[in-house]
Amino acid sequence: MQSNNPKLKLSFKPFTLELKHIFTVASSSRSTTPVVLTEIEYDGLIGFGEASMPPYLGESQQSVMSFLSKVDMIGFSDPCCIEEIVQYVDSIAPGNNAAKASVDIALHDLVGKMKGQPWYSLWGYDPHKALVTSYTIGIDTPEIVKQKAEEASPYKILKVKVAQGNEKAMIEAVRSVTDKPLYVDVNQGWTDRNYALDMSYWMQEQNVLFIEQPLPQEYMDDIAWLSAQSPLPIMADEAIRRLSDLKNRYGMYNGVNIKLMKSTGMHEAHEMLEFAKSVGMKTMIGCMTETSCAISAAAHLSPNADFSDLDGALLIKNDIFEGMKVVDGKIVLNNKPGIGVKLLSF
Ligand code: MG
């Protein structure tokens, strides 16, 4: 039975993801990731969303819940006015990108369910073009890196985190067990553009496909120089969060890693993907450590991207959603409406 005057109702709760391995990048180490799970209920349907807050991005469960408590959906009677609703949510306060993403994802899931279609269909993407996903190997000792590279045998591409001084040791450890293509993520860990260029030549010989965020995002002239000189594409991650960053900085990088937790969700990530392609940039759909809820949401964009790194749910022990699957290293999207997820337990 449809009620005559259905209302949008947002609810949320904190949850802590437990990582399978301690995860180390150039700037930090951790064994858990805090998230907040959201639901938007409307006329008997529920849309699911999620905010994931790796500590270096500055959001926390507390900041997300404080933001979400300010979201008042009472003025909206039609969930399908996605653009209006996400603009309203964005106007509540600056920043809070993951909190905003958690509303946006739940709204997209709800609207897809109302329309009875998965988002890749609503966007006109072919799900069979969904990509292989890379599997991430954090910074560790050569023995552990070798072990992780062996465990990652189902994946066709590995993403290797490096910091200044350990690049060759990290890549040589991986190369001692596999010759599959690699992505390299420096997380702003290099400080010298000539060093970065030398590394790019060396990495090209090691079958690395691109280098992500080699220099600190403030080193704009050096990054533009490196992107022009480098034999491997230079991808932005930390430097480009939202569409406005992309429009300001696209000439500086050869490509961009688009993530829902940076972009404020699916609506803006989709706009970023289309803009980046229109200006000839390489595109990648990436993630934080997230459950299969936010990962599945991101996966709907992957058929139209060049690369994808959607291993976030594979790195955790307590995934409470079922959604997009990784089969033989390839993303497999289901045909369920919305973002295609099922809540298993909480
Ligand atoms: Mg990165």
| H helix or E strand, kind and range, residue 40 | strand 29-42
Please report the pLDDT score of residue 1 as a whole number.
45
Please report the pLDDT score of residue 90 as a whole number.
98
Please report the pLDDT score of residue 214 as a whole number.
98
Contacts of 282 (CB under 8 A, 6+ apart): 210, 233, 235, 254, 255, 256, 276, 306, 307
Q: What's the gap in Å between 262 CA and the centre of ligand 1? A: 11
Q: What's the gap in Å between 167 CA and the centre of ligand 1? A: 15
Q: Tell which residue, 110, 112, 138, has the closest CA to residue 54.
A: 138
Q: What are the beta bridge partners of residue 308? A: 285
Contact 64, 98 (CB under 8 A): yes
Q: What's the gap in Å between 323 CA and the centre of ligand 1? A: 24
Please report the pLDDT score of residue 4 as a whole number.
66
CA–CA separation, 268 and 262 (whole Å): 10
Q: What's the gap in Å between 143 CA and the centre of ligand 1? A: 23
How far, in Å, are 27, 125, 128 from residue 23 at the CA level? Answer: 11, 33, 31
Q: What's the gap in Å between 266 CA and the centre of ligand 1? A: 19
Q: What's the gap in Å between 309 CA and the centre of ligand 1? A: 10
Rg (CA), the chain: 20
Please report the pLDDT score of residue 30 as a whole number.
83
Q: pTM for this one?
A: 0.95
Please report the pLDDT score of residue 346 as a whole number.
63
Q: Tell which residue, 221, 174, 230, 220, has the closest CA to residue 198.
A: 230
Q: What proportions of the chain, in percent to the nearest 5, are helix, strand and coil?
A: 40, 25, 35
DSSP 8-state symbol, 73? G
Spans of the chain, pLDDT less than 70: 1-4, 25-27, 346
Q: What's the gap in Å between 247 CA and the centre of ligand 1? A: 19
Q: What's the gap in Å between 89 CA and the centre of ligand 1? A: 26
CA–CA separation, 124 and 277 (whole Å): 15
CA–CA separation, 160 and 45 (whole Å): 40
User: Biggest alpha carbon distance in the chain?
Assistant: 66
Task: Give the rounded distance of the alpha carbon of 221 from its chain centre.
Answer: 26
Q: Tell which residue, 308, 306, 305, 297, has the closest CA to residue 331.
A: 308
CA–CA separation, 200 and 51 (whole Å): 34
Q: What's the gap in Å between 78 CA and the centre of ligand 1? A: 36
Please report which residue ranges of the chain form alpha helices under DSSP H: 61-68, 82-91, 97-115, 119-122, 142-151, 167-175, 193-205, 220-229, 243-249, 260-263, 266-278, 292-299
